Structure 1
Amino acid sequence: MSVDVVLIGRNEGQKLVRSLASVAPQARRMVYVDSGSTDQSVANAEQAGATVVRLDMSVPFTAARARNEGFAALMAQDDPPDVVQFLDGDCIMADGWLDEAEARLRSEDDLALVTGQQREMRRDASVFNQMFDVEWSRPAGQILTCPGNMMVRVSAFEEVGGFNPTVIAAEDDEFCTRLRKAGWRLLRIAEPMAGHDANMMRFSQWWKRAERTGHGFAQVGHLHPDYFVRERQRGWVYGLMMPIVAVFGTLSSPAVPVLVLGLYFLSYWKTTKGLIAEGLPVQEARAHAVYLTLSKFPNVIGMIRYHWRRLNNAQMRIIEYK
C-alpha cells in the first residue's frame, strides 16, 4: 500500500463510517478533514485510524479548502506521498481501486490525475438520485474535468497550487482546467472507483444544489471565460431573459407568453430525446428532462448571487443543500 487518501465531510454520519471502512484496507494512510460536523464524524474518523484535521470555521469552509488542508497534512509527514487519492465522505471506495489507479497514473508521466467509474448506490430511491447516477456515468478516456473523487500526482497538484479555496462549487472543474492549461493530461479509466450516496429525497435539496451549480458556472466561468460557456448562456436565456420577455410581452400581445412557453416545451422535448438517445428509459428521460428544464431558474439565481458577491467583495460562502 503506497497511496494516501484525503477524505472530506460534514455531518455524514454512518456514510462516513462506511467510507472509512472501505478505504482503510487499501490506503497507506488516511486523513479526514472535518468541516464543522455536529455529529460523531470526528470520533468515528479517529476510531477508524484516520488523522483528523478540523477546519477553522471562522473562515468560510469549502470542499476545495478542505482538500487543500488534507493534502497539506499529508505533506507535513516525515514520508510524504507522491500520489494522493481524494474521496468525499459520502462515497464508498471500490475494492482494488487504489492499486488500479496508481498503476495507471505511474505508467504515464504526463498524467496529472486518474479517476474511474462512480455510480449512485441507491439510484432508484428518488428521481434526484437517478439524475446523480446519470451525471456520474461517463465513458473512459481522456477527459477535460471530473468530480472531486480523483487520484492526483503530487507534483502536478503543487505545480498549479492545488484547489482554489474560494470556489464554492465546481472547484474540481476549476482545478482540472488549470491542470490542463499547465500541459497535464487527465484520464478516466473503466475500473469501478466509488459508490456515491446522495440521499437526495426533497425538491428543496435539489433546488439548492442547482443554485450552487449555477454559482459554480458563474465563478469558474469568470476565472476561465472559455469554460461553462453554454451552461452560462442557457442560464441567462432560459432562467432570466425568457421570463422577462414573457412578463413584459403580455403588454403587447397575449401570444408572447404562449410563444415563450412553447420554447420551454421545445427545450424539454429536445432534452428528453437526448436522454433517450443516451440509453435512459423513456419514463426516466421524461422525468429528468422536467428537472433539467426547471434547473435554469435556480442556476440563474446562483449565477446572480456569485456576481453580486464579486461586485460587492463579499465572501464566497458555500450553498448547503444536505
Structure 2
Amino acid sequence: MTPTSVPASSRAGHAAQACDASVTFVVPVLNGLHFLRRTVPALLTEAERWGPAEVVFVDNGSTDGSYEFLLGVDPARARVIRFEGGTIGAVRNAGAREGTGACLAFVDADCVVAEGYLAAAVETLARTGAAATGCEASAPEGGRWIETAQYRLHHVGRDRAVHYINSGNFFITRAAFDEVGGFREDLPTGEDSEICRRMQEHGLGIWECTRVKAVHLGNPRTLRQFWRRTVWHGLGMFGTVGGPRLDRPTIMMAVHLALTVLGAFLLAWPGVPLAKAVAAALALQLAVPVATVAYRCVVARRTSAAGANLVLYWLYYWARLWALVLIVTGRGHRYRK
C-alpha cells in the first residue's frame, strides 16, 4: 500500500485529531548537555507560541549534567522524567505515556525546532489526511563537510508522500501511534524505520513537509564519528527486514558483501592478470556506493557533493557489515556510538 492510499475513514479520523491541536513534545535525552542550552529554549518558546502544547523530557541516565540542567527548567513549562536503561524506542514510548496531547512531536535533544513548527505540522496533517509528518533535519550553518555533504544528498526539499521519516523529527497523531502500538522497545536502533513500516501495513499515510523544520546539531563531524554512528544505526537493521517493502539498505549491504567476495576471488585467481584483477576488484568495491549516490542524486534532483558522498557511502556499507558481525556474534548490545 502506498503512502497516499489511506482509507477515507482513517483520513477523516486523523485529520480531525490533528485539528484538535493539543500536542506533546517528547524529547529523549542522554548526555546532551552540550546541545540542550541551544535546543531547549527554542522548544519551550514554540510550545508556548502554539498554546495547547506540553513538553516532556525523558532522561535515559545522563551523567554529564543533562538531567540536573533539565530539572532547572520551570515545571510550569516542561516535565522531566527519568527512564534509565531502556532502548531509544522505550524512552520515546515512556514520554508518550507521560503526555496528554492528541498529537505527539518526537524531537531529539540535539535538534532546534523552527518557528512555526507546530502550526505547520498540524496544518499538514489536517490538509493531507496523513497520520504523520516531519522532514529531513537540516544541517547547521557552517557545518563540517560530512554534515553538508550528507544533507545536500538526502534533503529533497519538496513536500511529498513518503514511506519513512526519522524519529528525531517525527510528528504523529496519538490515534495512529496507539493503533500501531508505539515504537518497538526491543530494537537497539531503527525504531523509526520499523514504526513507519507498520504504519504502511495499517494504511496510515506519512507526509514530508519542509516547513516542519528542525536543525540537527549532533551530526557526525569526523569520519570516526560517522563510522561509529553508522554501526550503531545498523544494529537495528533486522527490525525492518520483511514487511510490505524491501529494506533497501540491508539488501544493498548484502550486494556489497557479495561483490567484495567476488573481487577478492578475482585477486586470488592465478589466471587473471594482476592489473585487470585490481581494476575489476576496485570497480566491484565501488559499485554499490556509486549506485546509492546516483539514486540519491536522482531523488534529490541535485549532484552536489557526489564525490564526498561516494567516500561516505563506501564507509557506510562497511560499517553496516561490521554491525552485522556484532549482531551475529552477540556483541551488539555492548556497542556504544
Shorter-chain TM-score range: 0.7 to 0.9
Task: Find out whether 1:66 has 2:91 as its counterpart.
Answer: yes
Q: How does 1:308-319 map to 2 (within 5 A)?
A: 308-309=329-330, 317=333, 319=335
Q: How does 1:62-141 map to 2 (within 5 A)?
A: 62-74=87-99, 80-107=100-127, 110-116=129-135, 118-122=137-141, 124-132=143-151, 134-141=153-160
**1:93, distance to aligned residue in structure 2 (A):** 0.6
| Alignment-derived partner of residue 279 in structure 1 | 302
- How many residues are matched? 302
SS in 2 for 1:26: helix
| Alignment-derived partner of residue 249 in structure 2 | 231
**1:128, distance to aligned residue in structure 2 (A):** 4.0
Asked if the contact 2:36–2:110 (Cα under 8 Å) also holds between the matched residues in 1, the reply is yes
Task: Find out whether 1:147 has 2:147 as its counterpart.
Answer: no
| CA RMSD of superposed structures (Å) | 2.6
Q: For residues 335 and 126 of structure 2, what CA distance do their matches in structure 1 show? A: 36
**1:246, distance to aligned residue in structure 2 (A):** 3.3
Asked if the contact 2:134–2:209 (Cα under 8 Å) also holds between the matched residues in 1, the reply is yes
Distance 1:256 1:173, change over 3 A: same
**1:162, distance to aligned residue in structure 2 (A):** 0.1
Q: Bigger CA drift: 121-130 or 161-170?
A: 121-130
**Given the alignment, which residue of 290, 296, 320 partners 2:317?**
296
**Given the alignment, which residue of 280, 286, 290 partners 1:259?**
280
SS in 2 for 1:114: strand
**1:85, distance to aligned residue in structure 2 (A):** 0.8
Distance 1:128 1:190, change over 3 A: closer
Q: How does 1:163-312 map to 2 (within 5 A)?
A: 163-221=183-241, 224=243, 226-228=245-247, 230-238=248-256, 240-253=257-270, 254=274, 255-267=276-288, 270=291, 278-281=301-304, 284-309=305-330
| Alignment-derived partner of residue 77 in structure 1 | none
Distance 1:246 1:273, change over 3 A: closer
Q: For residues 186 and 263 of structure 2, what CA distance do their matches in structure 1 show? A: 36
Asked if the contact 1:132–1:198 (Cα under 8 Å) also holds between the matched residues in 2, the reply is no
Asked if the contact 2:266–2:281 (Cα under 8 Å) also holds between the matched residues in 1, the reply is no
| Alignment-derived partner of residue 56 in structure 2 | 31
User: Any stretches of 5+ residues in structure 1 without a counterpart?
Assistant: 75-79
**1:319, distance to aligned residue in structure 2 (A):** 4.3
**1:70, distance to aligned residue in structure 2 (A):** 0.4
**1:194, distance to aligned residue in structure 2 (A):** 0.6
**1:279, distance to aligned residue in structure 2 (A):** 1.8
Distance 1:138 1:306, change over 3 A: farther
Q: TM-score, length-normalised on structure 1?
A: 0.83
Which of 1 and 2 has higher RCO (CA within 8 Å, sep 6+)?
A: 2
Asked if the contact 1:140–1:190 (Cα under 8 Å) also holds between the matched residues in 2, the reply is yes
Asked if the contact 1:210–1:299 (Cα under 8 Å) also holds between the matched residues in 2, the reply is yes
Q: Aligned letter for 1:292?
A: Y
SS in 2 for 1:317: helix
User: Any stretches of 5+ residues in structure 2 without a counterpart?
Assistant: 1-20, 48-52
**1:133, distance to aligned residue in structure 2 (A):** 5.2
Q: Deviations over 1:257-315 (max 9, x none)?
A: 4412122345555556556663233xx22111112123211111213333444xxxx8x
Q: Bigger CA drift: 167-176 or 82-91?
A: 167-176
Distance 1:25 1:160, change over 3 A: same
Asked if the contact 1:92–1:195 (Cα under 8 Å) also holds between the matched residues in 2, the reply is yes
**1:9, distance to aligned residue in structure 2 (A):** 1.7
SS in 2 for 1:119: coil
Q: Deviations over 1:23-75 (max 9, x none)?
A: 11222211101122111211222222321121232xxx32211110100111x
Asked if the contact 1:219–1:306 (Cα under 8 Å) also holds between the matched residues in 2, the reply is no
**1:82, distance to aligned residue in structure 2 (A):** 1.0
Asked if the contact 1:246–1:260 (Cα under 8 Å) also holds between the matched residues in 2, the reply is yes
Q: Deviations over 1:130-169 (max 9, x none)?
A: 3145334453111111001111111111111100011222
| Alignment-derived partner of residue 25 in structure 2 | 5
Q: Deviations over 1:198-244 (max 9, x none)?
A: 2422222111122233333333215x37331x322221222x33333
Q: For residues 335 and 161 of structure 2, what CA distance do their matches in structure 1 show? A: 31
Q: For residues 287 and 33 of structure 2, what CA distance do their matches in structure 1 show? A: 42
